[in-house]
C-alpha cells in the first residue's frame, strides 16, 4: 500500500513538473518576455531600420529610414536664417541634455549651428548615424565625438560579434553557448534559453565588473573599439571632414579613484587612425574644487562644461598653430 502510494506520488510529481514545463515552454514561445526577445534573431517580434555591417555590426538600411526616424530633428536644419556653418556633435546626455556641452557651445558660437540628434544611441549606431548623414550630403565644418566611459560599457558586456541584425531590421544578439549537456537543450527550448540568459548567458564577458570599466579592458572590447575608431578614420578621410574625439573622465577618475587605461587605449587608437583626439583629464586635474564640476545627478555643471569647451578650443588653436607655423 505504501509502495503504491509512493509510486502514484512520484508519477503525479513527474506529470506536474512536465505540465508546468510544457506550459512555460508554450508561454515563452507565444508570449516571449522582453528580456528574451533580443536573443531570438529572426523569430523575434522586434523590428528596426538597420542592416548588418561587417565593420561595426550595424548600419542604416537607407537614408529614408534614417530620415523618417529623425524627421522632426532634421527639419530644424531647414529653418530659414540658421548659420550655414555646422558642427556635428555625437554623444550621450553629456552633450545633448539641456545646459550641457551642445547648448553651451551654441551660446559660445552663435554663428555656428551646433547640431546633434537629441537622442542617446549605442556607440556603433552613432558611427552609423555619422555615416548616413555624410552619405546624404551633409558637410559639417567639424564633427565632435564625445566619449564617456559608460559609452563603452555595453560593448564590454555584449561584444560586436554577438550582434545580429535580424531580417526585420532589429538589433538582436547571439547568446554565449552554455556548457554541455545544456547546449542542445538551450538551442531548442525557449524556456531553457530564458533561464540561461537570466543566469548571465546573455553576456559575452560574464565575469566583467562594470565598476572596472576605466581599467579593465577585455580583449573583445579592444577589438571592437579598434573597429569603431577605424570606421571613424575612414569616414573622415573619405568625406574630407575633420573629426575630433573628446575623451571625458568619469567622477571616479576625477576624484582619483580610478585609472585611465580606457582613455589611454582610445587615444592610441585615434593616433593610429589619424583622428584628432582631445583627452580632457588634465583640465580636470588642475581644478581644485572638484565638487563644483558636477550637478546633483553627476552630469557636469556649467563650470565643468566650461573647462571642457575652453580646453577644446585651446586644443584646436594649438593644433592649427602646429600645422600652420609662421
In a domain, 146, yes or no: yes
In a domain, 157, yes or no: yes
- What is residue 139's DSSP assignment? -
Containing H/E element for 147? Answer: strand 142-147
Which pLDDT score, from 0 to 100, does residue 4 have?
A: 63
Grid cell locating 16: 506536474
Grid cell locating 116: 546633434
Kindly report which listed range (16-30, 42-56, 61-75, 113-127) carries the lowest average pLDDT score: 16-30
Q: Average pLDDT in the 320-325 region?
A: 72
Of the candidates 196, 164, 152, 147, the residue with the CA atom closest to the CA atom of residue 51 = 164
Kindly report which listed range (34-48, 76-90, 123-137, 273-287) carries the lowest average pLDDT score: 76-90
SS3 47: coil
Query: Could you tell me the CATH number of the domain that includes residue 296?
Result: 3.40.50.1110
In a domain, 20, yes or no: no
In a domain, 258, yes or no: yes
Pair 166, 172: CB distance under 8 Å? yes
Which pLDDT score, from 0 to 100, does residue 191 have?
A: 83
**Cβ neighbours of 217 (radius 10 Å):** 18
**Banded pLDDT at 246 (limits 50, 70, 90):** very high
In a domain, 151, yes or no: yes
Q: Average pLDDT in the 246-269 region?
A: 96
Which pLDDT score, from 0 to 100, does residue 211 have?
A: 87
Pair 141, 112: CB distance under 8 Å? yes
pTM of the model: 0.90
SS3 32: coil
**Banded pLDDT at 63 (limits 50, 70, 90):** very high
In a domain, 7, yes or no: no
Which pLDDT score, from 0 to 100, does residue 140 have?
A: 95
Domain count, the chain: 1
Vertex 144: Cα angle to 171 and 86 (nearest 5): 105
Residue ranges making up the domain that contains 235:
50-161+207-323
Which pLDDT score, from 0 to 100, does residue 121 have?
A: 95
Q: Average pLDDT in the 234-250 region?
A: 97
In a domain, 43, yes or no: no
In a domain, 6, yes or no: no
Q: Average pLDDT in the 221-231 region?
A: 98
Which pLDDT score, from 0 to 100, does residue 9 have?
A: 47
Amino acid at each position: 500500500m505504501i509502495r503504491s502510494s509512493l509510486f502514484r506520488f512520484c508519477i503525479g510529481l513527474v506529470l506536474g513538473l512536465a505540465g508546468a514545463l510544457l506550459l512555460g515552454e508554450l508561454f515563452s514561445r507565444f508570449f516571449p518576455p522582453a528580456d528574451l526577445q533580443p536573443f531570438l534573431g529572426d523569430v523575434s517580434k522586434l523590428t528596426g531600420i538597420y542592416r548588418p555591417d561587417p565593420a561595426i555590426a550595424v548600419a542604416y538600411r537607407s537614408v529614408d529610414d534614417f530620415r523618417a526616424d529623425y524627421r522632426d530633428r532634421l527639419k530644424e536644419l531647414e529653418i530659414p536664417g540658421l548659420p550655414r556653418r555646422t558642427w556635428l556633435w555625437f554623444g550621450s546626455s553629456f552633450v545633448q541634455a539641456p545646459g550641457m556641452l551642445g547648448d553651451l557651445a551654441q551660446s559660445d558660437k552663435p554663428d555656428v549651428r551646433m547640431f546633434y540628434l537629441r537622442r542617446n544611441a549605442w556607440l556603433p549606431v552613432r558611427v552609423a548615424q555619422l555615416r548616413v548623414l555624410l552619405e546624404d550630403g551633409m558637410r559639417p565644418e567639424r564633427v565632435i565625438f564625445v566619449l564617456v566611459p559608460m559609452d563603452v560599457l555595453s560593448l564590454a558586456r555584449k561584444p560586436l560579434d554577438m550582434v545580429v541584425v535580424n531580417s526585420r531590421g532589429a538589433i538582436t544578439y547571439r547568446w554565449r553557448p552554455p556548457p554541455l549537456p545544456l547546449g542542445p537543450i538551450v538551442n531548442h527550448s525557449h524556456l531553457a534559453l530564458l533561464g540561461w540568459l537570466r543566469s548571465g548567458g546573455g553576456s559575452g564577458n560574464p565575469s566583467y565588473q562594470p565598476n572596472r570599466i576605466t581599467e579593465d579592458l577585455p580583449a573583445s572590447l579592444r577589438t571592437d573599439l579598434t573597429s569603431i575608431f577605424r570606421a571613424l578614420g575612414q569616414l573622415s578621410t573619405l568625406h574630407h571632414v575633420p573629426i575630433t574625439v573628446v575623451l571625458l573622465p568619469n567622477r571616479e577618475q576625477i576624484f582619483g579613484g580610478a585609472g585611465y587605461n580606457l582613455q589611454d587605449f582610445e587615444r592610441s587608437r585615434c593616433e593610429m587612425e589619424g583622428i584628432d583626439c582631445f583627452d580632457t583629464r588634465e583640465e580636470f586635474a588642475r581644478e581644485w574644487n572638484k565638487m563644483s564640476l558636477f550637478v546633483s545627478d553627476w552630469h557636469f555643471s556649467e563650470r565643468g562644461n566650461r573647462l571642457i569647451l575652453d580646453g577644446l578650443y585651446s586644443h584646436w588653436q594649438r593644433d592649427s598653430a602646429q600645422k600652420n607655423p609662421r
